[in-house]
Amino acid sequence: MDGKTRILFVGDENHHRESYERLLTGSGYEVITAEDGQAALDILAKRQFDITLLDFNMPIEDQKVFETLFKTHPHMPVVVLTGNETTDDNALESIKKSAYDFITKPFKTDQFLLTVKRATDKSNAGKKERQAQEEIIQTLFDFNTEKKRLKTIINCMANGVMVTNSNLEIILYNPALIRLMGISEEIKNPVPVSRIINDKSLISTLEKIQSGECQVDESISQEVNTGTRVLRAISAPALAPDRNVFWKVAGAVTVFEDISAFKQLDLMKSDFLNMVAHELRSPLVSIRQLNSVLSEGLAGALQEKQKDFVNRGIKKIDALLELINDLLDVAKIEAGKYVRQKVPTDIGKIIEEAVSIMAPRADEQGITLSFSCQDLKPVEADPKNMEEIFNNLISNAINYSPGGGSVTVSAKGMGDYVEIKVADTGVGISSEELPKIFDKFYRVKHPKTRQVTGTGLGLAIVKGVVEAHHGNIDVESIVDKGTTFRIRIPVMTESKSSIRP
Identify the band that residue 470 occupies on the pLDDT scale cut at 50, 70 and 90.
confident
Q: What is the mean pLDDT of residues 42-55?
A: 87
Q: How far lies 64's CA from each of 38, 107, 145, in Å?
A: 10, 25, 45
Residue 446: pLDDT above 70? Answer: no
Q: State pLDDT tens for residues 71-95.
A: 788 888 888 887 655 444 544 565 5
State the Cα–Cα distance between residues 22 and 16, nearest whole angstrom.
Answer: 10
Average pLDDT of the residues in 22-43: 88
Task: Spell 316-329 as b/e; 16+ CB within 10 A means b.
Answer: ebeebbebbebbbb
> What is the model's pLDDT at position 409?
92
> CA 425, CA 270: separation in Å to the nearest integer?
38
Query: Which pLDDT score, from 0 to 100, does residue 501 have?
Result: 43
pLDDT value, residue 182 = 82
pLDDT of 401: 84
> Which residue(s) pair with 370 in the sheet?
408
Taking every pair of C-alpha atoms in the chain, what is the biggest distance, in angstroms? 145
Smallest CA-to-CA distance from 348 within 331, 383, 373 is with 373
Going by pLDDT thresholds of 50, 70 and 90, the confidence category of residue 245 is low
Name the helix (H) or strand (E) containing 196. none
Greater model confidence, 112 or 248 = 112
pLDDT at 372 over 80: yes
Length reported for the chain: 501
What would the pLDDT profile of 381-412 be if each residue is shown by its tens digit?
888 888 888 998 998 888 888 777 899 999 99
More confident residue, 253 or 247: 253
Average pLDDT, stretch 38-62?
A: 79
**What are the pLDDT digits (tens) for 293-350?**
888 888 888 888 888 898 889 888 888 887 777 777 777 776 666 666 788 888 889 9
Query: What phi and psi values does residue 417 have, to the nearest 5 degrees?
Result: -150, 165
Using one digit for the tens of pLDDT, what is the confidence trace for 118-140?
A: 988 888 888 888 888 888 988 88
